[in-house]
Structure 1
């Protein structure tokens, strides 16, 4: 998607409005055949991110995650833009579109190295499946908004007093730091408490989808296999 198209999106949230984003891909066809697509009306891409507000992070190199429905493996493209709230323009910061960057059915968790995002800045990130390189307008894609924030003094003190990863995850969650919570929930060693936290995050994502799809989406996300990616 062009930076102009991204910049033209708006949102009615009067507090700190991000550009209007779409956390899940539109349409029902996706990259699969019609027979495969008809098995489920769940979107082909669902970003694990808030859809009506900026998802917040303390990290200057956050972890991103999304769900891919298609059983077949497809070429993926990831883009990260810095968004200027004042002039409504966006600038490409990071792009991944190499031949080894391919989808797997389930939840994909992307860790990025050498990424230095700045506190106070706003970003947009996008995932696209390349069904047909000759018809990019038909490719399913989804976009989410993110803001990098500084750590509040009280939270900084609480974090410094604990080495327990579960405690930190819940502190992040209570502070509405979506991406910090997500990173621990999806990258740490699996255990019951983290499974519950992961389930809670996935339920929040499902609740942001169309009403008639929420229960089906929730079940699908919770039962999805998790794939770790490193770039």
Structure 2
């Protein structure tokens, strides 16, 4: 798979002791400004759906050595299924480690029998802070009205996969709402486009616009989106919280 086509830049669910707001702020200061901006808050889809059992866990799966990565956070909803109108969506995560560690990104299609079918896989090297990856345009696009599961695995020990850190999230590919399409057609400003996507419940599209540039206003937009998600992803009754930093 040609890496030149990939856009890589700068869990399961989190552990019971996790404080989402504190970790959110500390993690994002690595690359993003915390200055407030005017942005429509992220609104989950009106037909909000719960994720499948594939992403239902009571803690972090796997554990690397102390000198390696100790946490992995997907920048995506985990208490509900995020949506995108893109057939080649962008995925983002945070690995707060200064070491170069091999990662494996995997995308699965969930069929009508709730079975996982491999759609795409790529091994990359980690970089500290936020990383992002877009499905290559050279590949067939993802199918509309279809659910997918994406996974990032930190390859701590190739001989003992059970020790690897793994984080998963699901996304639904949906048709572009006509009203949103009309609004986007009249806006070339990325800040406005991120805001329109966020208000329409299209998490992956909104974050992709915001992360297209990690400085200035767009950095602030990404921060605002992640703060919205942290506020929405409330701890469950057993204290487990969201899967973002």
The alignment partner of 2:125 has SS state of coil
Aligned to 1:199: 223
Q: How many residues align?
A: 193
Alignment match of 2:115 (pick from 89, 93, 96)? 89
* Contact 1:32-1:70 within 8 A present in 2 as well: no
User: Displacement, 1:25?
Assistant: 7.1
User: Displacement, 1:30?
Assistant: 2.6
Alignment match of 1:76 (pick from 103, 122, 131)? 103
Structure 1 residues 23, 154: closer, same or farther in 2, change over 3 A? farther
User: Displacement, 1:209?
Assistant: 7.8
Give the alignment of 1:177-196 within 5 angstroms: 177-188=202-213, 190-192=215-217, 194-196=218-220
- Is structure 2 residue 128 aligned with structure 1 residue 124? no
The alignment partner of 1:168 has SS state of helix
Q: Could you tell me which runs of 5 or more consecutive residues in structure 1 were left unpaired when the two chains were aligned.
A: 1-5, 7-13, 38-42, 222-231
Alignment match of 1:153 (pick from 160, 175, 178)? 178
The alignment partner of 2:159 has SS state of coil
Q: Could you tell me which runs of 5 or more consecutive residues in structure 2 were left unpaired when the two chains were aligned.
A: 1-11, 13-46
Q: Which has the higher contact order (CA 8 A, sep 6+)?
A: 2
Greater share of helix: 1
Give the alignment of 1:41-52 within 5 angstroms: 44-52=71-79
* Contact 2:107-2:150 within 8 A present in 1 as well: yes
Aligned to 2:50: 17
Per-residue CA distance 1:193-212 (angstroms, 9 max, x = gap): x2332112222454548698
Give the Cα–Cα distance (whole angstroms) in 2 for the partners of residues 16 and 109 of structure 1.
Answer: 25
Give the alignment of 1:152-171 within 5 angstroms: 152-171=177-196
User: Displacement, 1:53?
Assistant: 1.3
Q: TM-score, normalised on structure 1?
A: 0.73
* Contact 1:24-1:44 within 8 A present in 2 as well: no
- After superposition, the CA RMSD in angstroms is 3.0
Per-residue CA distance 1:112-131 (angstroms, 9 max, x = gap): 21241011111000000111
* Contact 2:91-2:133 within 8 A present in 1 as well: yes
Aligned to 1:30: 64
Q: TM-score, normalised on structure 2?
A: 0.69
* Contact 2:191-2:221 within 8 A present in 1 as well: no
Aligned to 2:125: 102
* Contact 1:22-1:144 within 8 A present in 2 as well: no
Structure 1 residues 24, 180: closer, same or farther in 2, change over 3 A? farther
